[in-house]
Amino acid sequence: MSMSVPFMDLRPGIASLRGEFMTAFEKVLDSAAFAGGPWVEIFEHEFAEFCEAEHVVAVGSGTEALWLTLLALGIGPEDEVITVPNTFIATAEAISFAGARPVFVDVDPNTFTMNPACIEAAITPRTKAILPVHLYGQPADMDAINAVAARHGLLVVEDACQAHGARYRGRAVGALSQAACFSFYPGKNLGGFGESGAVVTQDGALAETLRNLRDHGQRAKHDHRILGWNSRMDAMQAVVLSAKLKHLREWTERRREIAALYHEMLAGMPFIKLPGEADYAAHVYHLFVVRVRHRPGFMQSLESGGVQSGVHYPRPIHLQGAYKQLGYGPGSFPRAEMCARQVVSLPMYPELTEAHIRYVADAIEEYGLLAAASVEEHKGTFAWLSPEPLAESLT
């Protein structure tokens, strides 16, 4: 039976809550409070409770959450912030637009997150903060990162834009550092119907500074003591997020079940490396990312079987044109570069059925059989199935 499995589909999730959304929109219309205001405050309280944190400041996007947090922490020109090259470019952009310089360190290819053992060598007298990314929904190794930060008197800010509800040694992401930044872009695990984001922190003074920064530096109406920006969340997003937040735990459980099914069905295939869940982590599987040796052939084969996949991210940030001036080159971060060549994101969203997952697994198995047969047939000609030098292994 032929099927088509999209990489992600937001429509079934929207359809299931349509009535709730419509009721919420009418409440916003009746109140005529659209930018910031009471609906946003309600969501901030609910999200703080969800993250087991004291304060939530809602802002215009995940990118602005990161940028304003760095500004609020006093990071600026002459400063360096340590982060990873295998992330969405917004992580580095936020550092640059605060006026500081991103300094990259390599990652652990099994968890895809910052390798704490690489941090110390990147610290200079200008280093002010470490910005780990909870990539694909798995927390970085926060105890190890916080220990390095404490030894050197550095701040830590989490990029939690892909990790709503993830846990680290039983603690919720968002309460593991000075501040954690979230995105509610539509495709994220908790996504609105447009752009928004939030900063989560235990630090009341930091939250107050962020409230000023997101509203033109106003402490009270027309009292601008610092320069700020317009980064208010709008009420239409807040009510969508409040409605969806009630279901987030159940959707996360479903993502974890889907990941377990993938693991079960794809076990024992030598050409594919499945994502590991670290012993400290409760992964929320924003993305289910595998590594393969010959990505173009793998993706083409899935595509021709009706299975859509994605790549997050094909080019690490240190090799992007926008960051040429930092002076990195190919080989600067071998593990991140290997991941960039090998990663494939398989279909992942809570409404995927077991039949969908079985279909994806069958398509992958079929690719494996064809690839093995073609290697046998063209021994020596198709060297691509043998490990490339950098990818010393998929393990």
Ligand X SMILES: *Cc1c(COP(=O)(O)O)cnc(C)c1O
CB 291 within 8 A of CB 270: no
Comparing CB distances to ligand X, the nearer of 90 and 348 is: 90
Q: Which two tokens stand for residue 298?
A: 């793998």
Q: Is the dihedral of CA 40, 44, 45, 50 positive or negative?
A: positive
Comparing CB distances to ligand X, the nearer of 112 and 328 is: 112
Query: Taking CB under 6 A as the rule, does residue 342 contact ligand X?
Result: no
**Amino acid occupying residue 344:** V
What DSSP string describes 196-228?
Answer: -EEEEES-HHHHHHHHHHTBTTEEETTEESS--
Q: How far is the CB of 94 from ligand X (least distance, A)?
A: 8
The rounded distance, in Å, linking the Cα atoms of 355 and 62 is: 34
Which x/- pattern over 91-110 shows residues binding ligand X (rule: CB under 6 A)?
x-------------------
Q: How far is the CB of 185 from ligand X (least distance, A)?
A: 4
Comparing CB distances to ligand X, the nearer of 210 and 357 is: 210
Quick one: which segment of 22-30, 86-94, 96-104, 168-176 binds ligand X (CB under 6 A)? 86-94
Burial-class residue 70 by CB neighbours within 10 Å (0-12, 13-18, 19+). Answer: buried
Query: If DSSP codes are grouped into helix, strand and coil, which group holds residue 44?
Result: helix
Q: How far is the CB of 363 from ligand X (least distance, A)?
A: 27
One residue of 185, 262, 280, 367 binding ligand X per CB under 6 A: 185
Q: How far is the CB of 160 from ligand X (least distance, A)?
A: 8
Q: How many CA atoms lie within 13 A of 234 on its CB side?
A: 11
Query: Taking CB under 6 A as the rule, does residue 285 contact ligand X?
Result: no
CB 89 within 8 A of CB 96: no
Q: Which two tokens stand for residue 158?
A: 């989490």
Quick one: which segment of 58-66, 238-246, 288-296, 324-332 binds ligand X (CB under 6 A)? 58-66
Query: Taking CB under 6 A as the rule, does residue 242 contact ligand X?
Result: no
Quick one: which segment of 8-16, 50-58, 84-92, 111-119 binds ligand X (CB under 6 A)? 84-92
Residues of the chain by 3-state class (helix, strand, coil), percent to 5: 45, 15, 40
One residue of 62, 191, 192, 350 binding ligand X per CB under 6 A: 62
Query: Taking CB under 6 A as the rule, does residue 161 contact ligand X?
Result: yes
Q: How far is the CB of 386 from ligand X (least distance, A)?
A: 33
**How many residues in total does the chain contain?**
395
One residue of 138, 183, 237, 342 binding ligand X per CB under 6 A: 183
Quick one: which segment of 60-68, 121-129, 302-310, 318-326 binds ligand X (CB under 6 A)? 60-68
Which x/- pattern over 115-154 shows residues binding ligand X (rule: CB under 6 A)?
------------------x---------------------
Query: Taking CB under 6 A as the rule, does residue 190 contact ligand X?
Result: no
Q: What phi and psi, each to the nearest 5 degrees, are found at residue 216?
A: 60, 30
Structural element, H or E, at residue 155 = strand 155-159
How far does the chain reach from its first CA to its final CA, in angstroms? 33
**Residue corresponding to tokens 């846990």:** 167
The rounded distance, in Å, linking the Cα atoms of 153 and 175 is: 19
Q: How many residues bind ligand X (CB under 6 A)?
A: 15
One residue of 63, 201, 237, 345 binding ligand X per CB under 6 A: 63
Rounded to the nearest 10 degrees, the angle between the axes of helix 62-72 and helix 204-213 is: 120
Comparing CB distances to ligand X, the nearer of 75 and 363 is: 75
Query: Taking CB under 6 A as the rule, does residue 159 contact ligand X?
Result: yes
The rounded distance, in Å, linking the Cα atoms of 94 and 336 is: 20
CB atoms under 10 Å from CB of 110, counted, come to: 14
Comparing CB distances to ligand X, the nearer of 229 and 382 is: 229
One residue of 86, 87, 178, 252 binding ligand X per CB under 6 A: 87
Query: Taking CB under 6 A as the rule, does residue 175 contact ligand X?
Result: no
CB 165 within 8 A of CB 179: no
Query: Taking CB under 6 A as the rule, does residue 391 contact ligand X?
Result: no
Residues that bind ligand X (CB under 6 A): 61-63, 87-88, 90-91, 133, 159, 161-162, 183, 185, 195, 197
